[in-house]
Structure 1
Amino acid sequence: MNVTRGFIDACEQEALHLSGAIQPHGALLVLDNVARITHASRNLPEWLGVEAEQLVGAPLPESLQDAIKGLGDASGARLAHDAWPLADHDVAIAVTRGDEGQVLIELLPAEDSDGDEEAPSTPSRRESASWPTFRSDTEVAASRETLVTQLRDESGFDRVLFYAFLPGGDGEVLAEARSEAAEGSYLGLRFPASDIPQIARELYARNPWRTIPNAQAESVEVLSASPSRPDLSLVDLRSVSPVHRLYMANMGVVGAISFPLMTANRLAGLISLHAYRPRRLAPPALRQLADKVKRYELARRDYETRQRMELTDTIERRFDAMSREVIDEGGLEAAWPNIGRWLREEFAADGVMLDNGLGLYSDGLHLEPEALEAVLAWCDSDASSTRISESLSRECPDMPLSEVAGLLASEVTLEDGRRLRLLLCRREEVQEVAWGGNPDKPTENPSGEHPIAPRRSFERWVEQRLGYSRPWPANTHLKLLKLRVLASAFGRDE
């Protein structure tokens, strides 16, 4: 989607971790490497009975000194205390080691709170259990439904979404659980990558959860001993971005919790909990929900690992058979009719082109001469040995009109220095993609308080996509990598 460039740039340039403010349901202290307070939130009198100005530059109060004992030295090391005696009541404390060695101390309510006397009480918690071993994609999909339903029931939130990131950065809701208060459904809808900017994704990936009990609440200033603002990358109390505050308001969401879904140390998606009233969960409840998500993720990753191993074994057997056929037939030219047909079937392609430096072979749909020239230049412009595209007309510079809309490209250098190129082609297929609102329509109002704001509508909006092939399967990249390892046989011409 062609989301307004100014909107994306504004989102990516927002230094979320340097907001200099926190959400008001907790308080914050930051210590340097000699345990002196360098930053303190202005609301600390409500928690410690001492003005924030008096705390900045002072040592940590004696009542909190034991709370930081045992904190590891590595960035991101954490300690949690669920009921720490402070003044006349208990508080929860989260202690985190920052990237520069600083100690970040968050003071939090020890109990859940709805912020609404008429809201139902928090449902009873259930112990997390390991997920059964998944044996099929169908079981994985069913488990997502089970997971979001359990999270909704145990959290008391109104809507829970399983939100997965697609290869291009957009997101899609793969599972949803709703209470009676949640109107409409987001299930199956896509949201553009700009809805969750990369800078925000990096913060999600570094924290066990992100909570916003009340997006409408005013932020609290963090006082500093120097002009520099504290790095709040690892602080859950970090204030809510004005753009995100408006985004939530446009969705009708007041309270929210997000849990990251990680794959190979990258953010692969989010579990998002939405409430239409202020709602806060205490750290023990958050840990229980996070543990449930992690156990699901372990089971899913175990399934995907087993799938990759099985796929790799299968591909290797098939490639070995094709290699033997090249040898038995006396070279690639004689074996090409079977090789070409097999490659098209293996990758579900409409056509294949193979250049082994000695000859160009094709089967089925293929690139016209001018299109081939543009594609090869595009491939050469990137250091990657593989390229995957579902829309060459949008991604490949100078791409002329062509029957080929989607392409897989792989290159390997043979022992004698020749370059072997494999191109798998797909023709255009008109697609209908359902979005949560028109992603090309952020609100822009130069005279307003926030000159660029997210769109206001999240109603189902269907885009007819032209110039795209059908999507390549998720295992395509793995297949291409395996093919590169075994491709030397395709370099034989006799």
Structure 2
Amino acid sequence: MTPIYFSDCLTAQLEFLGKTQDHGTLLVADEDDVIVAAAENAGDWLGPNAKEMLGRPWMALFPQIHPPSSLSSFEAIGLSGIHLHPVHINNRSLIMVRHRTGDHVVVEFEAESETNAFGRDRGAILAACLSQMGRTDSEQAAAECLMRFIAMVTGFDRVMLVQFLPNWHGKVIAETLKPGISGYLNHHFPANDIPENARRLYTRKLQRLIADAHAETIHILSTRPEPVDLTYAELRAVHPVHIQYMKNMNVITSFSVSIVIGDALWGLIPCHNLKSKHLSFADRQLCEHLSRIAGLHMSGLAQLRHAKERHTHLLMRRQLRQDIQTNGANGPTFQRQLQQIRETFVADGTWMRYQERDFFDGAVPNTHTRTTLLNWLATQTPEPVIARHELDDELKENEELRKTASGLLRIELNRNEFLILMRKEQSAQMEWAGVPQETANPNDPKAGLTPRTSFETWRQLVQGISAPWSASELESALRLRTSLNEVFEFLELEQQSLTDALTGLGNRNQLNRTLSGVITQYEQTGGRMAAVMIDLDDFKPVNDQYGHSIGDEVLIKLAQRMKALLRETDVLVRLGGDEFAIVLTRVRAVGDPERLADRLLNSISEPVLLDNGEQVTLTASVGAAIYPEHAQTATELLHHADLAMYAVKRKNRCGFELYDPTASYTASRNTPETPH
């Protein structure tokens, strides 16, 4: 919470303070070119005093100045939209600039200066900057190039490049210094040094000169009750807090250039001079032009970088979808894809919960700490994606969480499923230009100026902070959420089409798919597999005696018994009624199906205890055929296993037979469907 003694500077409408600096003067005209406001020092610069000018037409006051018909009859020209005119008034050579603001035209006058761009041709500087800027390949490199040219144009003692971090702290990432001038490289400045109201103006007005911290400000006289909007005025005075701020830094003249990408303030180039220094309007305009060029180039670089990142994430999502749809939502698939997701998002760990199972890759917290994390997430506002690069204070006390998940990106999936990406703590000593605001003393007479009273280096151990998530990563997180939900929904619908509704086993579709898949694989690699057909003997009397609900109960319990006898890779399906089939995906010896059949027959023949306390005892007939000895296709394999099973039925039942190619079989009752 902002201390009350600092609130005025944070909340003031800085563009409506109603004051100007004294290195020039200012007039405001309405749509009829009548002067409706004037700085009190207008008479010193223009002849008639300010009060005499109010209410008088522009042409009556300055007939010698041409724009031809009226002040407001001009179109915006150039990058800045500001007109620059040399004029001669009151025996002085002045530079006049004008710009629109709503229904008014603001006209400013400064002394003409022959000094141009630190003694160099401005056109040559602009061309050189364009050339060097074009060779930069990152936003920071372009910003540093801009800073060097701003330093060349201004010739100030200290020129810094400040980049705004996600929490609006500013970090000095580059600087140029005159001999004997101290610097602030790698130092952080608290966010309130340039509060939101000031940042808003820096985004709209790209360069700003404070000519002399010790000069008196000039009031604006006006015939209108509403204040004049000085957002784009060259002479607009700043808040007294900022003046005191400069004095505390021993800075007399300050000039700043904004770096804006799109409509976002990327950073700032503050220029400080320890003595009063004039910077002509033309040089300031040149710096603004350079900044706009840099902003356009940086915008292009950012778009290119984002495009590359988006393409990388797109390829990851396509591979993920294809892998899961081809190989299923299982441990090996998730292990591959979680690693790919982690690497694409430059995360240190991933944790996914799917169908009440947890899957991990990389460095993740222990079980207790994961529970702590989930409890905290449950208190947050429900959102599809929750991104944090700094832990809340109460979580920073958890060392395990701090080290493994100082940064987290939680992607909500369907129901109680989620994907969490984690980044490790980047513990470091942060250097501040003075003590941050939390430790400011409200009794200090300078505390109203700034959250601290000096700019000497103050070091702070920063914990519980990670690298922030980029805009591209947040965008990709939303797209990844959509992809995962779509593929999981597809798998769920597909699973329903492959599942027997009563027992939860696979159905005939699952049998055909499994057989076709294994045979296709073994055609390439070689191998044996077997189809085993199972038909319960005399099951109809169970339904007749006890009813279909009891019959269903018996089928479910026998299905569970049979499944318990199989390996994880084998597949048990219910074909319908009292018929089942098993795919033995690996057969090492011809006797493997018979050994399984013995276990199946023993298990099935054990009495089934019903929920009503009664018992049911059944037997089964089992037949099997082996690929490739007994068949070359899935259709043949099922047919031959079915023939063997019905051979048992026609004999004594409750037994097993392996298909014999030399035997003479009577056609089975059912012909299996052809696999797709």
Q: Structure 2-normalised TM-score?
A: 0.64
Amino acid at match of 2:448: I
- Confirm or deny that 1:81 pairs with 2:81: no
Report the secondary structure of 2:430's partner residue: strand
1:135-162 deviation digits (Å, cap 9, x = unpaired): 644xx55554443233222222111111
User: Is 1:171 equivalent to 2:170 in the alignment?
Assistant: yes
For residues 370-398 of structure 1, the C-alpha deviation after alignment (integer angstroms, 9 at most, x for no partner) is 43132133141xxx64332122224xx88
Partner of 1:242: 240
1:39 to 37, 40, 43: 37
Q: Residues 479, 453 of structure 1: CA spacing in aligned structure 2 closer, same or farther, 3 A cutoff?
A: same
CA separation in 1, counterparts of 2:479 and 2:134? 27
- Structure 1 unaligned segments of length 5 or more: list them: 115-120
Quote the offset at 1:56 in angstroms: 1.6
Counterpart position of 1:118: none
Q: Distance in 1 between matches of 2:273 and 2:133?
A: 30
**Aligned residue type for 1:469:** S
Give the direction of change, closer, same or farther, for the CA distance of 1:385–1:161 in structure 2 (3 Å limit): farther
Residue 464 (structure 1) shift: 0.3
Residues 1:97 and 2:100 are matched in the alignment? yes
On the 8 A contact 2:395/2:401 being kept in 1, the answer is no
2:110 corresponds to: 108
The equivalent of 2:448 in structure 1 is 452
CA contact (8 A) 2:385 2:409 kept: yes
| Match runs of 1:391-410 below 5 Å | 391-394=390-393, 401=398, 403-405=400-402, 406-410=406-410
Return the alpha-carbon distance in structure 2 between the equivalents of residues 404 and 101 of structure 1.
57
Q: Following the alignment from structure 1 to structure 2, what is the Cα–Cα distance between the partners of residues 83 and 65?
A: 11
Q: Relative to structure 1, is the Cα distance of residues 277 and 385 closer, same or farther in structure 2, using a 3 angstrom cutoff?
A: farther
Higher RCO structure, 1 or 2 (CA under 8 Å, sep 6+): 1
Matched-pair contact (CA < 8 Å) for 2:133–2:145: no
Cα 1:133–1:234 change in 2 (3 A) is closer
Counterparts of 1:113 and 1:275, CA distance in 2: 17
Q: Secondary structure at the match of 2:119?
A: coil
Taking the aligned partners of 1:70 and 1:485, their CA distance within structure 2 comes to 54
What is the CA–CA distance in structure 2 between the aligned matches of 1:343 and 1:460, rounded to whole Å? Answer: 40
TM-aligned CA deviation for residue 442 of structure 1: 4.4
Partner of residue 282 from structure 2, selected from 281, 284, 294: 284
Corresponding residue for 1:323?
321
With over 3 angstroms needed to count, the CA separation of the structure-2 counterparts of 1:298 and 1:323, relative to structure 1, is same
Between 270-279 and 426-435, report the one with greater CA deviation. Answer: 426-435
- In structure 2, give the amino acid aligned to 1:88: N
Partner of 1:25: 23
Q: Deviations over 1:411-461 (max 9, x none)?
A: 4677xxx58643212344432111111123546447x5x771223321222
CA RMSD of aligned residues (A): 3.1
% identity of equivalent residues = 25
Give me the whole-angstrom Cα distance separating, in 2, the residues matched to 1:297 and 1:451: 35
Question: Contact 2:396/2:464 (CA < 8 Å) preserved in 1?
Answer: no
Larger Rg: 2
- Structure 1 residues 109 and 385 mapped into 2: Cα distance closer, same or farther (>3 Å)? farther
Q: 2:51 aligns with which of 40, 53, 64?
A: 53
Superimposed CA distance per residue, residues 99-135 of structure 1 (whole angstroms, 9 cap, x where no aligned partner): x322111112221689xxxxxx943244212145456
CA displacement at 1:479 relative to structure 2: 3.7
Distance in 2 of aligned mates of 1:387 and 1:238: 41
The residue matched to 2:320 in structure 1 has which SS? helix
In structure 2, the partner of 1:197 is 195
Counterpart in the other structure of 1:347: 345
Q: Distance in 2 between matches of 1:186 and 1:47?
A: 39
Partner of 1:124: 120
Matches of 1:11 and 1:487, distance apart in 2: 48
1:335: how far off?
A: 1.8
* Residues 451 and 181 of structure 1: CA distance in aligned 2, closer, same or farther (over 3 Å): closer
Q: 1:132 to 1:150 in 2, by over 3 A?
A: closer
Structure 1 pair 468/146, CA: closer, same or farther in 2 (3 Å)? closer
Alignment gaps of 5+ in structure 2 = 493-676
Amino acid aligned to 2:302: E
Deviates further, 60-69 or 249-258: 60-69
SS in 1 for 2:458: strand
Change in 2 beyond 3 A, CA 1:264/1:387: farther
Per-residue CA deviations over 1:195-252 (Å, capped at 9, x if unaligned) read 0010001111111311111121000110111443322222121112110001111111
The one-letter amino acid paired with 1:97 is R
2:136·2:142 contact (CA, 8 Å) conserved in 1?
A: no
The alpha-carbon deviation at position 303 of structure 1 amounts to 1.9
Q: Offset at 1:34? A: 2.9
Matched, 1:425 2:422: yes
Question: How many residue pairs align between the two structures?
Answer: 470
Pairs within 5 Å for 1:214-229? 214-229=212-227
Say which SS state the counterpart of residue 233 (structure 1) adopts: coil
Give the counterpart of 1:309 among 307, 327, 350: 307
Which segment is superposed worse, 339-348 or 156-165?
339-348
Structure 1, 309-318 or 199-208: larger mean CA deviation: 309-318
User: What CA distance in whole angstroms lies between the structure 1 residues aligned with 2:442 and 2:397?
Assistant: 35
Pair 1:451–1:273, CA change in 2 (3 A):
closer
Which has the larger displacement, 55-64 or 236-245?
55-64
Aligned-partner Cα distance in 2 for 1:419–1:407: 21
CA contact (8 A) 2:325 2:487 kept: no
Is residue 99–residue 106 contact of structure 2 (8 Å, CA) maintained in 1? Answer: yes
Is this contact kept in 1: 2:16–2:227, CA < 8 A?
yes
Output the CA distance in 2 between the equivalents of 1:299 and 1:133: 8
1:266 corresponds, among 264, 267, 272, to: 264
Structure that is richer in helix per residue:
2
The residue that corresponds to 2:185 in the other structure is 187
- The aligned amino acid for 1:408 is L
